[in-house]
Amino acid sequence: MNDRAWKPNVTVAAVIERAGCFLLIEEETEGGLRFNQPAGHLDSGESLVEACAREALEETAWRFRPTALVGVYQWPRPRSANEGTDEGGITYLRFAFAGELGEEIAGRALDAGILRAVWMTPAEIEASKVRHRSPLVWQCVQDFLAGRRYPLELIRHYG
């Protein structure tokens, strides 16, 4: 493998809590229906904070304004059987944000593959771990519940 060509996939996730419940999405994946935070890839030219707000809106129809960083997570996703036997799977570098929930935009279509946005208690999220898109889903909730919040000033965006 050419180490110079390898790059992690940069993603953002919104850890959105309201009245003791967290906003997750249920989405279609190669592995079946899975739960995840509203999350997605960083697009060219946008900041991590902008990407998080965009992904939350696209996947849930709720406006969201990131106000704090919950954590940065590196996860090398194991290869699935249908991906062949090349070295290693995809590595994700996830930036998870907490913030302020805005209004829900009634009638707004969700991204392709997103079946629904759903509010779940921490107990419901933990009980559904077998259906999580990655182990980062539960870890982000645990870190949020532990009070992990870092100022957005830690992230510098030049552009």
State if pTM tops 0.85. yes
Q: Is residue 51 part of a domain?
A: yes
By the 8 A CB rule, do 55 and 5 touch? Answer: no
CATH of the domain at 80: 3.90.79.10
Residue 27 inside a domain? The answer is: yes
Report CA torsion sign: 100, 110, 74, 51: negative
The whole-number pLDDT of residue 82 equals 47
The verdict on residue 4 lying in a domain is no
pLDDT for residue 2: 60
Q: Give the domain range for residue 147.
A: 9-154
Q: What is the DSSP letter of 132?
A: B
Mention every residue, 6+ apart, whose C-beta is less than 8 A from residue 118: 23, 24, 25, 26, 35
Residue 159 lies in a domain: no
SS3 126: helix
Label residue 131 exposed, middle or buried (CB < 10 Å: 0-12, 13-18, 19+).
Answer: middle
> Residue ranges of the chain with pLDDT lower than 70?
1-3, 80-88
Radius of gyration for the alpha carbons in the chain, expressed in angstroms and rounded: 16
Domain count, the chain: 1
- Give dist(CA 59, CA 37) in Å, integer: 9
